Structure 1
Amino acid sequence: MLPSPPLAALSKSAAAARRAATAAACRSRLLVLPAVTSLVPEPSSPALLRCIRLMPQQEGPRTPLPMPLGRGFSVVAGGAGAVLELEGGDSELVVVSFYRFADFPDHAELRRPLKELCEELRVSGGIILAPEGINGSICGTPEAVEKVLNFIQADDRLKGLRMIQSPVTPEDEAIHHGHTSHSPVGAGEDAPFRWDHVRVKLKKEIVALGDPDVMPTKMVGKYVKPKDWNALISDPDTVVIDVRNMYEIRIGKFKRAVDPCTNSFREFPSWVDDQFQLAESDSQPSSGNNDSSTDGQLEDLNSCEPKKLPRVAMYCTGGIRCEKASSFLLSKGFKEVYHLEGGILKYLEEIPKAESLWEGECFVFDKRVSVEHGLAQGTHKLCYGCKKPVSDEDMESPEWEYGVSCPYCFATKSEEEKERARARQRQFEAWGVIGGPDKGRSPKKLEAKHTVEEGKELSSSV
């Protein structure tokens, strides 16, 4: 395996100074959270607790907004005066993935104020706004992330965001603070964990299925808690469907799960239609998957009479895709449609490994690449040629070239594409950013950009 370029992490003195400054600021004043749930685990060891300031209470009565408090946090005071404290000293940042299906025709109006707030608070990541709702993953200090989530949920249509919170590794924290990483896009324009870098995009769908008639706001399947999931998928009368893509399923899935062999979520409706067209004829089931348990599930699926649709249990990474897929199946006439609440991530967080039916690792769309039980970082890395996970064995292949290609994309890339990727890698190793230092963003550039935009708006209004 070719070694990765060394991580340019924070120096010990700089890190110590920054943490000391943060601790001093925390001691100077404590802010309070709105009333929070009691789902937060208490610290398992007497590790040092560092208080993180959070958004102050607004004056007058206020409806508590749900805030996902993941591993590494504890509530030391209940009720409206709850204080969030960060366990240990490993990280000052959190990653929160969230989504909400809603009737949101004026979604474009939220884009600019939301982006400006994220930039002001130095919250990084990506957010999608669409007529059907909001979907995003952001990284920042607990205080900053809380403010962004409160701002979003100030719109009644977006209250009750479904959220999953994860810790941040020291490497990702270094990237977020503007330092380079072994990742060729770690400090580039596409870096999700980087100060002042957030993308707020307008799209037709928050998760692209390609069927405008599918409306999770109108009908959706039944949510299943992680603690009840094992019993459901162990029932032989339940067809378990993984609605993720092939490259995600390749590194991990639930036992007995059917792999639709899709390259994108848009292919899922066609897969469903094809399977039940086969059920109406005497055609043989697809042989796209070599897993014997999966073949058995497909045979069961295709042996069903068209009007006797099976009970279906679906799952995905965080819940958003199977929520939309459940709405699609209900529109097709399925009567019993279930999906895992909180997705694989919630299951891995709550269910002990000894009781788990999960096999392998779960691919995630951030710098961690994959996670295991307890949301511990997995062993997979990312191929920056195709943005797909690779294992240690994959990196032993002669088709693996760091920052360029892997066994899964080597044959699909031309020599010209590979040479461009090598040039990009050389730029990163030399400058720490893709395209050289002129591509780095700075407060002065941001200020100049905003000034130009405001000038254009003023001239157009005149």
Structure 2
Amino acid sequence: MIPAFRSSLNPNSNPNPNFLLQLNPSSFIPASNSSPHRRRPNIYSCSYSSQSQAMTVSNCSTGSAASRPVPISTAADFESQSNPHSTLMVVSFYRFADFPDHANLRKPLKELCEELRVSGGIILAPEGINGSICGTRDSVGKVLAFIENDSRLKGLRKIESPVSPEEEAIHHGHTSSSPLSAGEDAPFRWDHVRVKLKKEIVSLGMPDVSPIERVGKYVKPREWNALISDPDTVVIDVRNNYETRIGKFKGAVDPCTTAFRNFPSWVDDQFELPKADSLKQQSGGSTELKTEWPERKKPPRVAMYCTGGIRCEKASSFLLQKGFEEVYHLEGGILKYLEEVPEPESLWEGECFVFDKRVSVEHGLAQGTFKLCHGCKQPVSDADMETPEWERGVTCPHCYSSKSEEEKERARARQRQFDAWGIIGGPDKGRRPTSKDDARAKNSNKLSSSL
């Protein structure tokens, strides 16, 4: 139950100004642009404005439209229009659970997805499951039902998103020359499924932080505005800087992290956290760390949000472990908020970055305007693609200065493969040659085409 917030009727209220004065001033010192995946810059520096820009859709990120055949409607297209169960959808899901035998699920889950032509990415770890998949409503439903057959994974937290008619037409009319058939450099592929085994389903690097044991209080999207409008609430964006750059909630504090693993360091730096000085004995014999806070240093009420809610599960568990008492997080994340809260009532500004081919979404989960730089996996606008630093498939203004000439040349070679065949690696990608002669012929074709 959320407490009554004194300023809940004022949607323009900002977070507690006294808290903002406590933040390290270096958090707001501009720094040079850098790729979030290449090196670890000062995590307390930002190099961008928090305001998003209005842009129009561009085809630059997938190559010239004139050089690619337009997919022809197939029987599947007409079937999807007449049968809602065959319409494509994207479902993001996760579940924290005690799952030590997670590796046993990998093979049957991957085989089922391939059989049903469900694509996307799924992570299995000892702490649970996390995934984003695309397919027809029936096929996706079968995959999710298979996962929830394991009682430990029942109650998956799910967010459904529609697929645009253009993307659906390309999916059904898929050929090796289709723009969406290439995805080796993209975080999500419509034509391929990956089921990976990892140590964590979302990497914080702190194994003692367990959302299975305790998390913050969930806040429904319809109740979120009242919470974050209260001046005594500190609103924290738990995402990374390449995500917050294109959109965030009004008045939210941006940690400017380049990876989720940096979040604990940011908390330690920004809050004056006393050390635990006693152990509280619980009924049953177990002990719990107890932190004594001086009244003047009492931590504020914190409300956190992320894309789909999974990072907030760990972040809220971490803050509770640190001694924070009032920790809230947006249930279902930004995606659920954009789905349920009408735009006129919304406190969201800009677009939401998503880790699939859509790149970004707007209110109602409509397709956004940003494209993806395949050199650094960051969202780029039409304005970005007009700069000298933009080179399709190679660099953008956000990664140009951090890439060596050798890295740029490798990216250009990959882009030439894409331009020639519509897929990274050539037309035989994923297929086993029938003979040594076929293999030599294909390798020869690759070599001649790349020269």
Letter in 2 for 1:199: R
Contact 2:238 / 2:312 at 8 angstroms: preserved in 1?
Answer: yes
SS in structure 2 at match of 1:354: helix
TM-score of the superposed pair, with normalisation by structure 2: 0.74
Task: Decide whether aligned partners of structure 1 residues 193 and 171 sit closer, same or farther in structure 2, where only a CA change above 3 A counts.
Answer: farther
- Does 2:380 match 1:416? no
Counterpart in the other structure of 1:386: 376
CA distance in 1 between partners of 2:117 and 2:361 (Å): 25
Contact 2:217 / 2:328 at 8 angstroms: preserved in 1?
Answer: yes
Task: Decide whether aligned partners of structure 1 residues 311 and 257 sit closer, same or farther in structure 2, where only a CA change above 3 A counts.
Answer: same
Task: Decide whether aligned partners of structure 1 residues 2 and 167 sit closer, same or farther in structure 2, where only a CA change above 3 A counts.
Answer: closer
Counterpart in the other structure of 2:108: 113
Contact 1:279 / 1:305 at 8 angstroms: preserved in 2?
Answer: no
CA distance in 2 between partners of 1:220 and 1:443 (Å): 51
Counterpart in the other structure of 1:400: 390
Segments of structure 2 that go 5 or more residues without pairing to the other structure are 1-57, 276-293, 436-451
Counterpart in the other structure of 1:18: 76
Which of 251, 256, 266 is matched with 2:251 structurally? 256
- Does 2:225 match 1:167? no
Letter in 2 for 1:108: A
Which of 339, 343, 353 is matched with 1:349 structurally? 339
Segments of structure 1 that go 5 or more residues without pairing to the other structure are 24-47, 54-91, 281-303, 446-462
Task: Decide whether aligned partners of structure 1 residues 133 and 237 sit closer, same or farther in structure 2, where only a CA change above 3 A counts.
Answer: same
Correspondence 1:281-430 to 2 at 5 A: 307-430=297-420
SS in structure 1 at match of 2:98: coil
Which of 229, 235, 238 is matched with 1:240 structurally? 235
Counterpart in the other structure of 2:43: none
CA distance in 2 between partners of 1:9 and 1:272 (Å): 51
Percent identity of equivalent pairs: 72
CA distance in 2 between partners of 1:193 and 1:172 (Å): 12
Task: Decide whether aligned partners of structure 1 residues 314 and 400 sit closer, same or farther in structure 2, where only a CA change above 3 A counts.
Answer: same
Correspondence 1:89-108 to 2 at 5 A: 92-108=87-103
How far 1:194 moved relative to its partner?
A: 3.3
Letter in 2 for 1:348: L
Counterpart in the other structure of 1:5: 64
Correspondence 1:196-235 to 2 at 5 A: 197-235=192-230
Task: Decide whether aligned partners of structure 1 residues 161 and 443 sit closer, same or farther in structure 2, where only a CA change above 3 A counts.
Answer: farther
Contact 2:123 / 2:130 at 8 angstroms: preserved in 1?
Answer: yes
Task: Decide whether aligned partners of structure 1 residues 443 and 235 sit closer, same or farther in structure 2, where only a CA change above 3 A counts.
Answer: farther
CA distance in 2 between partners of 1:388 and 1:151 (Å): 33
CA distance in 1 between partners of 2:252 and 2:187 (Å): 33
Task: Decide whether aligned partners of structure 1 residues 176 and 191 sit closer, same or farther in structure 2, where only a CA change above 3 A counts.
Answer: farther
Letter in 2 for 1:169: S
- Does 2:40 match 1:50? no
How far 1:173 moved relative to its partner?
A: 2.7
CA distance in 2 between partners of 1:201 and 1:392 (Å): 34
How far 1:390 moved relative to its partner?
A: 0.8
Task: Decide whether aligned partners of structure 1 residues 50 and 10 sit closer, same or farther in structure 2, where only a CA change above 3 A counts.
Answer: farther
Larger relative contact order, structure 1 or 2 (CA cutoff 8 Å, min sep 6):
2
Contact 1:2 / 1:402 at 8 angstroms: preserved in 2?
Answer: no
- Name the count of aligned residue pairs: 356
Task: Decide whether aligned partners of structure 1 residues 113 and 335 sit closer, same or farther in structure 2, where only a CA change above 3 A counts.
Answer: same
How far 1:435 moved relative to its partner?
A: 1.6
How far 1:433 moved relative to its partner?
A: 1.2
CA distance in 1 between partners of 2:413 and 2:84 (Å): 44
Task: Decide whether aligned partners of structure 1 residues 187 and 208 sit closer, same or farther in structure 2, where only a CA change above 3 A counts.
Answer: closer
CA distance in 1 between partners of 2:433 and 2:368 (Å): 35
Which of 257, 264, 271 is matched with 1:269 structurally? 264
Letter in 2 for 1:405: T
Contact 1:10 / 1:174 at 8 angstroms: preserved in 2?
Answer: no
How far 1:192 moved relative to its partner?
A: 3.1
Cα-to-partner distance string for 1:305-340 (whole Å, 9 max, x where unaligned): 675111000000000001110000000001000000
Correspondence 1:59-70 to 2 at 5 A: none
How far 1:50 moved relative to its partner?
A: 2.3
CA distance in 2 between partners of 1:228 and 1:375 (Å): 19
TM-score of the superposed pair, with normalisation by structure 1: 0.72
CA distance in 2 between partners of 1:443 and 1:337 (Å): 56
